[in-house]
A = this chain, B = another copy of it.
Amino acid sequence: MKKLINDPRAVVDEAVEGFGLAHADLVTVSADPLYLTRKDAPVAGKVGLVSGGGSGHEPLHAGYVGRGMLDAAVPGAVFTSPTPDAILPATLAVDSGAGVVHIVKNYTGDVLNFETAAELAQAEGVDVRTVLVNDDVAVEDSLYTAGRRGVGGTVLVEKIAGAAAERGDSLDAVEEIAKRVNSKVRSMGVALSGCTVPHAGVPSFELADDEIEIGIGIHGEPGRHRIKLENADAITARLLSPILEDLAPAPGQRVLLFVNGMGGTPQSELYIVFRAASQLLGEAGLVVERNLVGNYITALEMQGCSLTVLLLDDEMVELWDAPVHTAALRWGA
């Protein structure tokens, strides 16, 4: 295992400490239990947004804490759910009295731990709503999941619901738009290589030199099938077809196209995939009105990418365009 780390058991603590030093204008770090809050939390009258999950997917979630997006992020160990004893104080810290929305990727550990924390917060008088993200069309049920996994769509839910909370929407309204985005977003990924969890020290899976895995999860969970390496246009079509089948968009529908790198893929390759995907969407009669290209929800150093398509409505476009100021997404601010 070759990594720029010190003690494999200290990777998350040290990375979050470094993140806190680099972005002291944006976030406050609680070291024990480990969570990050927006510098000015709780914001008076504003619904609080909390997300979290296993580490190793950076910039998700700490990179999205700030104005117009998350109020708190709770990082677990690498690929391991955070525990309620960290989710609870993060929730309490960002509640201004307007209530809190938990945005939870659909993995069994995350679901259980956020549920426990939500019950404990409710007992302390905080109105907590939970929005599950389950946008991965690759497989039904998986290594860590009952139902569909939460992947790239999470970033879009957090941005759009974050903008709704920032403009002063009620708890009901923020919950509604988060669920609406989740219902209109689908994703699928491909791996060209595996990745190595630091405290494991060996790759979680391996692919032969001429082999790729279609429908991979963000922890290297198995996808739909392993196939021989194909060119970028063919791989893009393999990822996009099941997404469009599932979404069944009307011709002329406006979409947000998100090409996400898994961590170890050069940016030039992501733009080659974007080129292919936007051509295919055009041929399907859809209009790519917004896009996002880059490493936004990763699997350590895995090579590969995921495609995410969101069916846009006017409100989503307005909230997508609204100012955001976080470490990893920033515009208009």
Contact = CB atoms under 8 A, between A and B. Distances in A.
Given A22-B274, A301-B303, A267 B2 contact: no
B4 A305 contact: yes
Nearest to A7: B231
A273 B18 CA distance: 8
A268 B192 contact: no
A185 to B, nearest CB: 18
B2 A192 contact: yes
Interface centre among A22, A274, A276 (most CB of B within 10 A): A22
A330 B331 CA distance: 6
Categorize the interface residue count of chain A.
Answer: 35 or more
A21 interface: yes
Interface string A249-289: 00000000000000111111111111110100000000010
A18 B209 CA distance: 27
Contacts of A298: 266-267
A4 B269 contact: yes
A2 B209 contact: yes
Given A4-B235, A6-B231, A22 B268 contact: no
Contacts of A263: 264, 266-267
A193 interface: yes
B2 A272 contact: no
B233 A6 contact: yes
Contacts of A265: 4, 301
Contacts of A14: 232, 271-272, 275
B295 A295 contact: yes
Contact of A58 (B56, B235, B266, B333): B266
- 3 interchain residue pairs of minimum CB distance: A18-B275, A18-B271, A15-B268
A288 B291 CA distance: 34
Interface of A: 2-7, 11-12, 14-19, 21-22, 55-56, 58-59, 63, 190, 192-193, 209-210, 212, 229, 231-233, 235, 263-276, 278, 288, 291, 293, 295, 298, 300-301, 303-305, 330-333
Q: How many copies does the complex hold?
A: 2
14 contacts: A2-B212, A2-B303, A4-B192, A5-B272, A12-B268, A15-B267, A15-B268, A18-B274, A18-B278, A63-B267, A263-B264, A263-B267, A265-B301, A332-B333
A316 to B, nearest CB: 18
Contacts of A63: 267
Contacts of A275: 14-15, 17-18, 21
A6 B272 contact: yes
Given A18-B274, A22-B293, 7 more contacts: A11-B268, A15-B269, A15-B275, A58-B266, A58-B271, A267-B298, A331-B333
A4 B270 CA distance: 8
A21 B278 contact: yes
Contacts of A301: 264-266, 303
A276 B4 CA distance: 11
Given A58-B268, A271-B18, A274-B18, A2 B193 contact: yes
B267 A295 contact: yes
